[in-house]
């Protein structure tokens, strides 16, 4: 019996005991109380970390040199540079998305979906900077990229987004302009705060990790904070500051009554009334939710190569899919836009994603090149 | 921020963004353990380090398809095993691990005795108990305890039946438990019952 106890206890230590086995172990132990101390001591030994050396930066530099010597693309400073300027030239790497969708059954998706075709790098050309003195990084629909700013701040840029910063970035100020969605890991520097300007809001950061979603053609603008703290001011009412704590999400929505065509006249009217705001912005504070079986909230899923949505309308999901896959989605029947979906996609193709969604709610679709049409099922 | 990420998140970042920071974190996290494992086969530290750097070069070479790997950690251990065996110029047809040829060193427990309410004498006792284990038993204990591999993963890595791994680990745990036994009475009042 004692051997059985050791057998079960070993499983418990490695976290691989089933519920049945745990119950059996507890029952056996109740008749062997003299083993308690021993097992407790054993558990202490088990959880004590073993003395294993940690590799140094120079170990990694050696590996980097080996990779380079074998002709693989790996940008790593040869000497250990002290000044952050050394990373200024850190290259932008383009993520290549599939150019062609692979037809496969949904069942097979999980295993073989990830056959990716690379576009030629020429397919992703940096736009000419608008100002001569500014640096601009942009992504097309269907592609994402990561950039390291001169101060060491890391920025992941989602599809169809644009990040601009001046040549003097990092000297006396750290100001960037964002159009689209980005995930920031800002290098802490109390002396030089980091500012992000978008069409609707301004964010002040000292050193933190967060996600900003501010696509110009969307009425919503979202700031999601993971670590640290940020301050958000609305461009329409710069006097008021919103302080975000970790797991806070600030959502700013433009007033739906103002659309593109009459925005100019409304702005004129407002200026006459000595009002600054071209549109009414309504900020709402929400909380990021991480489900128990997931490691990241839906807001930052894209950084982990996952397209995710939580109880969002088909229209919102379609907007995300358009950018994610670099496609265009048209609804033949407008009422379909209101259907709501929750889901996560990793390596699925457009067709596989749509097929999975069909299981949740009935609709039909056709794919023709890069355009998708969604229509009602005919009864 | 990367030190808090799950291995699969690092894997995604490397595959999707060719993220060198994530790749570096992967290296920092697993290289020492993989070198230890390689050393049980290659016997020499320099050779083990060479083997593991080859494995990591291969990971970077395959970065774009890294997402296809279901269990990256196990993949790295298996790759390390294979490259180590190649290093020994073992005939490919008979490329299997010979347990008797392995040389397994168990790392010292890191915490100070005071922290553990464990005397140096007791630590020594445990170290001996582990040292006395048969090779197969010892490598299984090492891979599960130090490397955090699941028993099924160890079975796959060492080409053993899962049942064998379970039984061998139970033996290792029992022997250490017995080593602790003679010291247990003195500690009766300070140790809580296991949950």
Res. B10 pLDDT band, cuts 50 70 90: very high
Instruction: Say yes or no: A9 and A147 in one domain.
Output: no
- In a domain, residue A130? The reply is yes
Residue B3 clears pLDDT 60, i.e. is over it: yes
Q: Do B194 and A40 touch (CB under 8 A)?
A: yes
Cβ-Cβ contacts under 8 Å between A and B: the total is 163
Q: Does this model's pTM top 0.90?
A: no
**Interval A15-33: pLDDT, tens:** 888 889 989 988 888 888 7
Q: How distant, in Å, are the alpha carbons of A104, A105, A307, A341 from that of A318?
A: 21, 21, 11, 11
pLDDT band at B158 (very low <50, low <70, confident <90, very high): very high
A40 and A130 assigned to the same domain? no
Q: Which residue has the higher pLDDT, A333 or A127?
A: A333
The answer on A35 and A140 residing in a single domain is: no
Closest CB from B126, B166, B184 relative to A7: B166
For chain B, residues classed under CATH 1.10.1740 are 2-96
How far apart are the C-alpha atoms of A195 and B180, rounded to whole Å?
58
Instruction: Please enumerate, as own/partner, the contacts of B186-191 that have beta carbons within 8 Å and a separation of 24 or more.
Output: B187/A37, B187/A41, B187/B117, B188/A37, B190/B117, B191/A36, B191/A37, B191/A40, B191/A41, B191/A44, B191/B117
**Average pLDDT, integer, range A85-104:** 30
SS3 for chain B, per residue? CHHHCCHHHHHHHHHHHCCHHHHHHHHHHHHHHHHHHHHHHHCCHHHHHHHHHHHHHHHHHCHHHHHHCCCHHHHHHHHHHHHHHHHCCCCHHHCCCCHHHCCCCCCCECCCHHHHCCCHHHHHHHHHHHHCCCHHHHHHHHHHHCCCCCHHHHHHHHCCCHHHHHHHHHHHHHHHHHHHHCCCHHHCCCCCCCC
> Any long-range contacts for B3-10 (C-beta under 8 Å, 24+ apart)?
B6/A295, B7/B72, B7/B73, B8/A295, B8/B72, B9/A295, B9/A296, B9/A304
Mean local confidence (pLDDT), A155-171: 85
Whether B33 and chain A come into contact, CB under 8 Å, resolves to yes
Give tens-digit pLDDT for B37-73. 999 998 888 889 999 999 999 999 999 889 889 999 9
Residue-level pLDDT at A251: 84
| Contact assignment for B144 to A41 by CB distance below 8 Å | no
B188: nearest CB among A37, A75, A209: A37
Q: Flag if B12 and A116 touch (Cβ within 8 Å).
A: no
What is the number of alpha carbons within 13 Å of residue A334 lying toward its C-beta? 0
CA angle B64, B68, B72 (to 5 degrees): 95
Residues of A in contact with B111 (CB under 8 A): 48-49
Closest CA to B64 of A147, A104, A97, A182: A97
- CA A364 to chain B, closest CA, distance in angstroms equals 30
A69 in a domain, yes or no? no
Q: How long a stretch of residues is chain A?
A: 379
Instruction: List the single best residue of B8, B18, B48 to mutate versus A (max A Cβ within 10 A).
Output: B18
Q: What percent of chain A clears pLDDT 70, i.e. is strictly above it? A: 74
Residues A27 and A133 in one domain: no
Cα nearest neighbour of A66 on chain B = B57
Question: Do both A145 and A293 map to the same domain?
Answer: yes
Class of domain B2-96: mainly alpha
Nearest chain A residue to B180 by CA distance is A38
Higher-pLDDT residue of A340, A291: A340
Look at B170 and A114 and tell me if their CB atoms are within 8 Å.
no
Per residue in A285-312, pLDDT (tens digit) is: 777 766 666 667 778 778 777 888 888 8
Query: What's the whole-number mean pLDDT along residues A347-355?
Result: 85
pLDDT of A357 reads 86
Output the average pLDDT for chain A.
72
Q: Which of B170, B171, B185, B193 would you mutate first to test chain A, the one with the most A CBs within 10 A?
A: B170
Kindly tell me the burial class for residue A269, based on how many C-beta atoms sit within 10 Å of its own C-beta (0-12, 13-18, 19 or more): exposed
Cβ contact A154–B21 (<8 Å): yes
CATH code of the domain covering residue A133? 2.60.120.1440
- Out of B31, B180, B193, the one facing A42 most closely (by C-beta) is B180
Mean pLDDT is lowest, of A36-45, A250-259, A291-300, B183-192, for B183-192
- The whole-angstrom distance between A111's CA and the closest CA on chain B is 8
Strongest mean pLDDT among A43-52, A102-111, B62-71, B113-122: B62-71
Whether B93 has its CB under 8 Å from any CB of chain A: the answer is: no
Residues A32 and A153 occupy one common structural domain:
no
Judge: B170–A7 Cβ closer than 8 Å, yes or no.
Answer: yes
pLDDT tier for residue B88 given thresholds of 50, 70 and 90: confident
Does residue A18 sit in the same domain as residue A147? Answer: no
Option in B28, B53, B191 nearest A37 (CB): B191
Segment B155-166 mean pLDDT: 93
* B171·A9 Cβ contact <8 A: no
Cα A225–chain centre separation: 12
Distance (Å) from the alpha carbon of B149 to chain A's nearest alpha carbon: 8
Instruction: Show the domain range for A268.
Output: 126-297
Average pLDDT, chain B: 82
CB-based contact A51 B107, cutoff 8 Å: yes
Question: B100-187 has which CATH code?
Answer: 1.10.10.10
Total domains in chain A come to 2
**In chain B, what is the straight-line distance between the N-terminal and C-terminal CA atoms, in Å?**
32
CA distance B92 to chain A (A): 25
Q: Which residues of chain B are in CATH 1.10.10.10 domains?
A: 100-187
Confidence of residue A39 (pLDDT cuts 50, 70, 90): confident
Residues of B whose CB is below 8 A from A93: 17-18
Looking at residue B115, its pLDDT comes to 53
Give the domain-ending residue among A12, A30, A47. Answer: A47
Lowest mean pLDDT among A154-163, A186-195, A271-280, A344-353: A271-280
- Taking the CB of residue A369, how many other CB atoms lie within 10 A of it? 8
């Amino acid at each position: 019996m004692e051997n059985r106890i050791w057998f079960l206890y070993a499983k418990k230590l490695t976290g691989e005991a089933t519920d049945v086995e745990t119950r059996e172990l507890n029952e056996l132990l109740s008749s062997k109380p003299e083993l308690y101390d021993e097992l407790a001591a054993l558990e202490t030994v088990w959880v004590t970390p073993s003395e294993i050396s940690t590799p140094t930066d120079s170990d990694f530099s050696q590996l980097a040199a080996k990779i380079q010597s074998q002709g693989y693309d790996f940008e790593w400073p040869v000497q250990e540079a002290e000044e952050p300027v050394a990373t200024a030239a850190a290259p932008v790497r383009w993520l290549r998305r599939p150019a062609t969708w692979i037809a496969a059954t949904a069942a097979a998706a999980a295993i073989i979906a990830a056959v990716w075709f690379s576009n030629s790098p020429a397919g992703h050309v940096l736009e000419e900077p608008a100002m001569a003195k500014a640096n601009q990084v942009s992504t097309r629909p269907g592609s994402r990229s990561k950039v390291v700013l001169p101060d060491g701040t890391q920025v992941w840029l989602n599809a169809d987004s644009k990040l601009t910063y001046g040549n003097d970035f990092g000297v006396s100020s750290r100001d960037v302009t964002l159009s689209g969605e980005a995930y920031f890991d800002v290098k802490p520097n109390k002396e030089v705060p980091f500012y992000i300007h978008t069409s609707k809001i301004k964010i002040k950061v000292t050193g933190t990790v967060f996600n900003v979603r501010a696509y110009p053609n969307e009425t919503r603008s979202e700031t999601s904070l993971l670590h640290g703290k940020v301050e958000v001011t609305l461009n329409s009412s710069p006097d008021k500051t919103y302080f975000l704590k970790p797991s806070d999400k600030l959502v700013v929505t433009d007033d739906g009554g103002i659309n593109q065509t009459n925005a100019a006249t409304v702005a004129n009217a407002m200026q006459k009334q000595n009002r600054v705001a071209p549109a009414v912005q309504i900020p709402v504070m929400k909380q990021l939710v991480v489900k128990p079986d997931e490691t990241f909230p839906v807001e930052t899923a894209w950084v982990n190569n996952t397209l995710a949505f939580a109880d969002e309308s088909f229209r919102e999901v379609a907007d995300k899919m358009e950018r994610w896959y670099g496609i265009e989605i048209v609804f033949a029947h407008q009422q379909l836009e209101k259907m709501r979906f929750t889901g996560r996609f990793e390596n699925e193709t457009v067709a596989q994603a749509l097929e999975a969604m069909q299981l949740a709610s009935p609709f039909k679709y056709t794919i023709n090149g890069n355009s998708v049409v969604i229509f009602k099922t005919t009864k | 921020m990367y030190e808090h990420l799950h291995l699969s998140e690092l894997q995604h970042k490397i595959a999707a963004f060719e993220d060198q920071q994530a790749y570096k974190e992967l290296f920092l996290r697993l290289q020492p353990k993989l070198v230890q494992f390689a050393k049980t086969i290659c016997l020499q530290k320099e050779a083990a380090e060479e083997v593991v750097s080859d494995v990591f070069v291969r990971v970077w070479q395959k970065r774009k398809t890294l997402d296809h790997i279901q269990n990256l950690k196990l993949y790295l251990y298996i790759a390390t095993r294979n490259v180590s065996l190649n290093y020994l110029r073992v005939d490919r047809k008979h490329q299997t691990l010979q347990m008797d040829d392995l040389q397994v060193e168990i790392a010292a427990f890191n915490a100070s005795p005071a922290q553990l309410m464990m005397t140096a004498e007791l630590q020594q006792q445990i170290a001996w108990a582990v040292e006395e284990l048969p090779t197969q038993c010892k490598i299984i204990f090492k891979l599960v305890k130090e490397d955090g591999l699941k028993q099924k993963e160890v079975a796959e890595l060492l080409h053993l039946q899962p049942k064998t791994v379970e039984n061998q680990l139970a033996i290792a745990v029992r022997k250490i438990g017995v080593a602790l036994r003679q010291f247990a009475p003195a500690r009766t009042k300070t140790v809580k019952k296991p949950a």
